[in-house]
Amino acid sequence: MSVTAPRLADPAPEQLRPTVSSRRVVATLLRKELLVELRTLESVPAMSLFSLATFVIFHFALNRGSVEGDLGAGILWVTLLFAAILGVNRLFVADAEQGGFDGFLLAPVDRSAMMVAKALTLLAYLLVLELVAVPAFAILLLGPSLWPALGGIALTLLLGDLGVAVIGTLVGALAVRTRARDLLGPLLSLPLFVPIVIGGARATAPLLAYAHRGGLSGRWLATLGVYDLLFGLIAYALFDFLLED
Amino acid sequence: MYPKGLRALSISTVVAMTAALALVFFYAPLEAEQGFLQKIFYVHVPLAIISLCGFVLGGVLAIQHLRTRDPRWDLRSYVVIHISIVFAMATLITGSIWAKGSWGHWWVWSEPTLVSFLIVFLLYATYQPLRFAIEDPERQSRYASVFAVTAGAFVPMNFIAVRMSTAYLHPRVLGSTSNLPGSMALTFLVSLLAMTLLFATLCNYELTAKRARARLRALKRRLAAEGEPQRTPRSAAPAALPVQPSTAGTAS
Amino acid sequence: MTRRYGEREALRDVSLSLPAGRTLVVFGPNGAGKTTLLRVLATLLRPHAGRVEVLGAGLPDDGWRVRGRIGLLGHEPLLYRELSAAENLSFHASLHDIRKSRVEEVLEAVAMTARAQEPIRHLSRGMVQRVAVARAVLHEPDLLLLDEPYANLDPAAVELVAPLIGPESGRTRVVCSHDPGGGMAEADLVLGLREGRVALLAEAPAVSSEQVTELYQ
């Protein structure tokens, strides 16, 4: 079958509309994401409140007023991860429900740009989350002072966030158009997050300890970095297959 | 009905398994420390190796599916992953028995291989629910392939990460196959061969069963009245559509 | 061409050719495959068998070439409910590399300039449909794919959008319709679908309204 255009309006081959530059597309998408989030305030406040509530629950569950070292690092990372899952669950819902995928698919753009934009969005959410959660953690539960280790913790969190953002985007896109999207999202994410927890918690633990404040461990940061890179590439390559029909 | 090599494969599997069992029980020496229980090593380790390779193979087959859009690759990927999940469960069970026998606990966190397996198993346990949650068969195959590739890449990374994180509290018997005495090495290799053949045979049987079911459904559809609405039951398995002579893009 | 949904064939052996500037109207009961056909032509779905050529590009491999020249108006308006009409259209304009002044032009054309800053969820269905029309023609597509375009529009609004998406627009159009009278008036070519198969395919003058109503029995 064939459907043709009006002869007069047939553009010469070199005038075929060029695909829009990817950077511009990512910027457009990112702007749209943040605009919608600012209007609805769906994800970030929920993630932040969730983390605060979780710290309180940890206090009662562990019956401790202050934590440090391995325990402290563990509580921080677990809380951040579960809050992140809330964000992952909501990441693609607006698009799935309001026809955002179709609108994007009809545009003459590189589809992987959506993956980059969504990952950056999730990263932004996580950074804002941490601006709330980390001070709250320091106030509510952490024994040693946070200040000396702040730089190291920030770097570790950033590397961990990159991994969570990339995996969260992939899993979010995978789960959103299934029947059990709220269940599959967490189930798929958690095993994939394990190496991030390993690297992140191991690197953070000495920074939060009373005795012999360890320095930043290059080994764990390198592990996080490699993991981020590997899954970033994989997500970028596979994302296209999730969008089309 | 059955593909040609299947009978030969099945027979060689039975032969290899018998040989392996014979070697394990009668030939391999009793290990000094752990005694008879140590023999579970000849089952546990091959299971572990094969299921890991199976998961990675499932990812490779999924890449082929995404590249060619041919549903046959998805069927192969599904079957390989399915059998690997079964082998992974067996790995965990035999590992747990071994742990209980050797160290008195049903589970030990100090054994990185076992721990990695638990994580990998938890991940792949979502494979079938994921498939079942997508009704459109073509999209189901595509999403499952994306999952299989991601998970397949995850398996080695996970192993490395867990191994890095485990403090070596116990002697690591699982990994040290390099310095086995000759008789144990032979038994181990025969075991490994037998398990590989078993894996291949099970995969082939499942593939055959799925294809037969698909052909049966196609025949049923043709016998049914034209235009009668067909209710295909939801399933996690790929539809195993019979191969079409022409795929999208070729002349009609 | 053929498009499957698992073992069921959503479209089977559908064959037609639509020359430039003409209008094809598709009739058929629900579930006949009209929306599927539209989505294949929009490059959103791949054909599973057969050859499809849209605006000179073969699908699915070359679909990306002509994506920017196709306008789709489906059942969903494809608008974000929390954003305003202006913001939604700017978003699409950016994706299609269209100048911003065009956004104001189309808003004016569908008489939505006054309420362009309000979130979509505050607008009535008719207004949303008008904004959706604006979105569909924003990038001045050569091919229009319209799925029951007049569904939520009152007669005044229908007149308003006619120059944009109606026969006078001069574009090649494929329209899915449930209205035999109105649909026939616009058609150059008529396609009747029934359970994914072609039940009727003819030039418009040769088709009677009884033939169309028969499709729905």
The pLDDT confidence band at residue B232, using thresholds 50, 70 and 90, is low
The more confident residue out of C3 and B145 is B145
The residue type found at A12 is A
Q: Which of A74, A153, A202, A123 is nearest to B161 (CA)?
A: A202
Residue C32, number of CB atoms within 10 A of its CB: 23
Check residue B170 and give its pLDDT. 41
Check residue B171 and give its pLDDT. 45
Q: How far is A100 from chain C (nearest CA, A)?
A: 6
On chain A, the residues whose CB falls within 8 A of the CB of C21 are 6-7
Cross-chain residue pair A241–B150, CB shorter than 8 Å: no
Least confident interval from A221-225, B52-56, C44-48: C44-48
Q: What percent of chain A has pLDDT over 90?
A: 62
Least confident interval from A43-47, A192-196, B123-127, C195-199: C195-199
Nearest CA in chain C to B237: C6
Per-residue CA distances from C64 to A60, A108, C42, C60 (Å) = 57, 6, 10, 8
Q: How far is A170 from chain B (nearest CA, A)?
A: 9
Q: How far is C208 from chain A (nearest CA, A)?
A: 24
- Cis peptide bond prior to C119, omega within 30° of 0: no
Q: Measured between alpha carbons, how far is B122 from A145 in angstroms, rounded to an integer?
A: 37
pLDDT at A116 over 90: yes
pLDDT digits (tens, 9 = 90+) for A5-54: 444 444 444 444 456 788 889 999 999 999 999 999 989 999 999 999 99
Check residue B231 and give its pLDDT. 63
Long-range contacts for A231-236 (Cβ within 8 Å, ≥24 apart)? A231/A163, A231/A166, A231/A167, A231/A170, A231/A192, A231/B150, A231/B153, A232/A119, A232/A162, A232/A166, A234/A170, A234/B149, A234/B150, A234/B153, A235/A115, A235/A119, A235/A166, A235/A167, A235/A169, A235/A170, A235/B150, A236/A112, A236/A115, A236/A116
Nearest CA in chain C to A104: C95
Q: Where are the alpha helices (DSSP H) in C3-154?
A: 34-41, 63-66, 85-96, 100-109, 125-137
Q: Across all residues in chain A, what is the average pLDDT?
A: 88
From chain C residues 102-121, the ones with a CB under 8 A of any chain A CB are: 119
Q: Which of C14, C8, C7 is nearest to C34 (CA)?
A: C14
On chain C, the residues whose CB falls within 8 A of the CB of A20 are 94-97
User: Residue A180 gets which letter from DSSP?
Assistant: T
In a domain, C137, yes or no: no
Q: Where are the alpha helices (DSSP H) in C141-194?
A: 155-165, 180-186
Check residue B10 and give its pLDDT. 86
Q: Which of B116, B199, B108, B129 is nearest to B155 (CA)?
A: B116
The beta-carbon neighbor of C7 closest among B227, B239, B247 is B239
Chains that touch A (3 or more CB pairs under 8 A): B, C
pLDDT at C206 over 50: yes
Cross-chain residue pair B157–A227, CB shorter than 8 Å: yes
Kindly tell me the sign of the dihedral angle through the C-alpha atoms of A12, A13, A18, A19.
positive
Determine which of C2, C22, C62, C91 to mutate to test the interface with A (most A C-beta atoms within 10 Å): C91
Angle (nearest 5°) at CA C170 between C165 and C176 = 45
The beta-carbon neighbor of B161 closest among A174, A223, A241 is A223
The beta-carbon neighbor of C95 closest among A16, A25, A40 is A25
The pLDDT confidence band at residue B180, using thresholds 50, 70 and 90, is low
The more confident residue out of C3 and B67 is B67
On chain A, the residues whose CB falls within 8 A of the CB of B161 are 194-195, 198-199, 223, 227
Give CA torsion, residues A42, A119, A173, A52, to 10 deg: -40
Any chain C CB within 8 A of the CB of A23?
Answer: no
Q: Measured between alpha carbons, how far is A114 from B66 in angstroms, rounded to an integer?
A: 19
Check residue B233 and give its pLDDT. 67
A166: phi then psi, degrees, rounded to nearest 5: -65, -50
Determine which of C7, C39, C197 to mutate to test the interface with B (most B C-beta atoms within 10 Å): C7
In a domain, C27, yes or no: yes
Per-residue CA distances from C56 to C1, C3, C53 (Å) = 16, 20, 6
**Residue-range domain boundaries for chain B:** 6-221
pLDDT digits (tens, 9 = 90+) for A221-230: 999 999 999 9
On chain C, the residues whose CB falls within 8 A of the CB of B227 are 195
The residue type found at C132 is A
- Region for residue C15 given its phi and psi (left: phi exceeds 0; alpha: psi -120 to 50; beta: otherwise): beta
On chain A, the residues whose CB falls within 8 A of the CB of C103 are none
Q: Measured between alpha carbons, how far is C165 from C186 in angstroms, rounded to an integer?
A: 11
Q: H or E stretch including B136?
A: none
Check: CB of residue C59 under 8 Å from CB of residue C108.
no
Long-range contacts for C198-201 (Cβ within 8 Å, ≥24 apart)? C198/C13, C198/C14, C198/C15, C198/C16, C199/C28, C200/C27, C201/C16
| Token pair listed for B97 | 């028995």
Q: Which of B67, C79, B238 is nearest to A36 (CA)?
A: C79
Check residue A19 and give its pLDDT. 65
The pLDDT confidence band at residue B124, using thresholds 50, 70 and 90, is very high
Per-residue CA distances from B239 to B136, C60, C81, C178 (Å) = 10, 22, 37, 34
Q: How far is C69 from chain B (nearest CA, A)?
A: 21
Check: CB of residue B65 under 8 Å from CB of residue B81.
no
CATH number of domain containing C31? 3.40.50.300
Domains: count for chain C:
1
The more confident residue out of B17 and A173 is A173
Any chain C CB within 8 A of the CB of A215?
Answer: no
Cross-chain residue pair A98–C78, CB shorter than 8 Å: yes
| Best mean pLDDT range from A94-103, B98-107, B228-237, C76-85 | C76-85
Any chain A CB within 8 A of the CB of C81?
Answer: yes
Q: Where are the alpha helices (DSSP H) in A5-43?
A: 22-40
Check residue B169 and give its pLDDT. 40
Q: Measured between alpha carbons, how far is C186 from C169 in angstroms, rounded to an integer?
A: 12
Pairing mode of beta strands A2-3, C17-18: parallel
| Average pLDDT score over residue span B61-75 | 93
Cross-chain residue pair B136–C5, CB shorter than 8 Å: yes
**Strand ordering across the sheet containing C197-203:** C70-73, C143-147, C172-176, C23-27, C189-194, C197-203
Global pTM value = 0.87
On chain C, the residues whose CB falls within 8 A of the CB of A241 are none
From chain A residues 149-178, the ones with a CB under 8 A of any chain C CB are: none
Q: How far is C39 from chain A (nearest CA, A)?
A: 10
pLDDT digits (tens, 9 = 90+) for A170-221: 999 999 988 888 899 999 999 999 999 999 998 998 888 887 666 777 888 9
Cross-chain residue pair C51–A18, CB shorter than 8 Å: no
On chain B, the residues whose CB falls within 8 A of the CB of C61 are 249
Check residue B252 and give its pLDDT. 30
Q: H or E stretch including B25?
A: none
| Average pLDDT score over residue span C109-115 | 90
- For residue C8, give its domain range: 3-77+142-215
On chain C, the residues whose CB falls within 8 A of the CB of B221 are 7
In a domain, C91, yes or no: no
The beta-carbon neighbor of C6 closest among B136, B246, B247 is B136
User: Residue A116 gets which letter from DSSP?
Assistant: H
Q: Measured between alpha carbons, how far is C136 from C125 in angstroms, rounded to an integer?
A: 16
Per-residue CA distances from A158 to A150, A161, A217 (Å) = 12, 5, 15
In a domain, C136, yes or no: no
| Best mean pLDDT range from A96-110, B56-70, B180-194, C95-109 | B56-70
| Token pair listed for B98 | 């071994």
Q: How far is C61 from chain B (nearest CA, A)?
A: 8
